[in-house]
A and B are shown apart, each in its own frame.
Chain A
Amino acid sequence: MKKPTLVFLLAVVVSMLSACAQAQTVVIANPSVKAADVSKGDLRDVFTGASSSLKDGSHVVPVLLKQGGVHDEFLAAYIGKNDSTFRASWRSLVFSGQATMPKSLDSEAAVVEYVAHNAGAIGYIGKATPHEGVKVLAVR
């Protein structure tokens, strides 16, 4: 097989794997959030503390998973950071008095529960996790 063909095939495989990772994670929000979808940029701003609202004006409060595969996938796919870099950037805000650390919960079920009962809450869970009482936001 020629080299360019091999590189092309590898790129296709990598992009398919990346898309697959994104598809495993869904973004959920409290039903009070008006938006039906959210851009990747908005999501990154909200989860890095740069913004506290979506483009349609909905005030949102991010909720995190403490750790795990879904957490790592979400950070890689939508925030562009790994867990240690992500937490380091939040520490900058917390220790300089610019923000409080988002709530971190132990399980996806706890995230669903919290998001369902707190106005403006926005979080992420695995696709297969039951999510009654919350709305799923499409990521553009």
Chain B
Amino acid sequence: MRCIRLLLLLACALALQAVSGSAQSLDDLNIQIHGYATQSFLYTTQNNILTTSSSNGSPAWTEAVVNITAQPIPKLRVGVQGRYFLLGNFGNTITLDWAAADYKANDRFGVRFGKVKTPSGLYNEIQDIDPSYMWSLLPQGIYPINSRNSVLAHYGGVVYGTFNLGQKMGKLEYRGWGGERVIGTDDGYFVDQRESGLNLPNGLSGVTLGAAIHWRTPLPGLMIGASDGKDQQWSSTLTAGGGALTGAETLKPFNLPDYFARYEKDKLLLAGEWSRLPVSGALTFTGLPATPVKIDQRAWFGMASYKVTDKFTFGVYDSQSVDHQSALGAARHSLDWAISGRYDFNQFLYAKAEQHFIAGTEIGYDTALNPHGLQPNTKLTILKLGVSF
């Protein structure tokens, strides 16, 4: 972390020198401020979802984002983005989305460092940027919103670039990343643990590395890609009984393979993704036998959207997720059909409506808000209003 701060300071110093050296005006710095805010309403027919009281109708999903960037010289950008996030019992805080310096030497090589978005999968970098896509809720098997803050970004760096493979072969984009990932103590992964009295007071953190390639094929609009992340062994203090017991939660090294494709032509968008999250580890308390932690989640989705008019887009997706380490039953899987519509009133204001038909309870539910047990099927309706500038 200290190293990251030093790198950020260095980038700021570089930017300041570039400014003072050429006596640039504020306009020359190309300072930009952008932001957006969304307010959502959730209603479910059966279970309460995403730690909200959704079966009564819940407005407890609010987000507001502001960023400021400057470009003192054409190849250097520095910026920072903050976010207010509230979803049920998650968040209700202001967090740092990213704070980074980006130096793009040319189209073939650039480097970004600080707190940076992790460029894995098809949508990870933009999964929190609501104005940029039509869905209210991305497929939860791969992009679980209650763990979003942990997987979105890491402290470290990203290298990126694009190679032109010639007219017959298209273009190849690459991204490589490394650094430290911190899964916050209030992350969705730990909801069940927390509600059963097990706490990670410092969250869970460890080294993360990864790479991704996106092949922009000669067929205009078709991109095929793959990414793989390698997370090293993670370990953190674990407490139980309100601090009466102290132990450790340890996760063994694991990979996060991900394959995806997207096709855009005129008003049509098709996309699909498959990913796997195989995690094994243990919860250990001194003098007690270790409790194993085993997850082998395999998830995929296929989606299609069509721009019916300039202002209205309609879409549908099928998302499935199965934890192969879970016992047979509704808690082993989540099958989600979603139909969605987005209406852009103008450049700044938009509205979304989305209906989910969810079978299985693997993702998105907690026991505290569903004290009478979970029903196997849920219908979820989401209405959202967003503004961006």
How many B residues face the partner with a CB closer than 8 A? Answer: 40
Residues of B108-134 whose CB lies within 8 A of A: 112, 116-117, 125-126, 128-129, 131-133
Residues of B264-278 whose CB lies within 8 A of A: 265-266
- Give 1 or 0 for each of A54-84: 1 = CB within 8 Å of chain B CB: 0000010100000100000000000010111
Interface SS, B side:
strand
Q: Are B344 and A84 in contact (CB under 8 A)?
A: yes
Residue of B nearest to A92 (CB): B132
Query: Which chain A positions have C-beta within 8 A of B125?
Result: 92, 96, 98
Q: Are B65 and A95 in contact (CB under 8 A)?
A: yes
Query: Which chain A positions have C-beta within 8 A of B310?
Result: 82-84
Q: Are A97 and B100 in contact (CB under 8 A)?
A: yes
Residues of B69-118 whose CB lies within 8 A of A: 69, 71, 74, 77, 79, 81, 97-98, 100, 102, 104, 106-107, 112, 116-117
Complex: A13 Cα to B12 Cα, angstroms:
56
How many A residues face the partner with a CB closer than 8 A? Answer: 28
Instruction: Identify which of A84, A100, A103 contacts B69 (C-beta below 8 A).
Output: A100
Q: Are A53 and B107 in contact (CB under 8 A)?
A: yes
Query: Which chain B positions have C-beta within 8 A of A31?
Result: none
Q: Is B311 in the interface zone, CB < 8 Å from A? A: yes
Instruction: Identify which of A52, A82, A91 contacts B131 (C-beta below 8 A).
Output: A91
Of the listed stretches B28-36, B187-195, B293-301, name the one at the interface; the rest are far from the partner chain: B28-36
Q: Are B132 and A97 in contact (CB under 8 A)?
A: no
Q: Is A128 in the interface zone, CB < 8 Å from B? A: no
Residue of A nearest to B221 (CB): A80
Query: Which chain B positions have C-beta within 8 A of A94?
Result: 32, 34, 67, 69
Q: Is A88 in the interface zone, CB < 8 Å from B? A: yes
Q: Are A97 and B71 in contact (CB under 8 A)?
A: no
Q: Are A95 and B34 in contact (CB under 8 A)?
A: yes
Q: Is A120 in the interface zone, CB < 8 Å from B? A: yes
Residue of B nearest to A66 (CB): B347
Residue of A nearest to B77 (CB): A100
Complex: A96 Cα to B129 Cα, angstroms:
8
Give chain A's interface residues, CB within 8 Å of chain B: 41, 50-53, 59, 61, 67, 80, 82-85, 87-89, 91-92, 94-101, 103, 120
12 A-B residue pairings within 8 Å (CB atoms): A51-B162, A83-B310, A84-B347, A92-B125, A94-B69, A95-B36, A95-B65, A95-B128, A96-B125, A97-B112, A98-B117, A100-B77
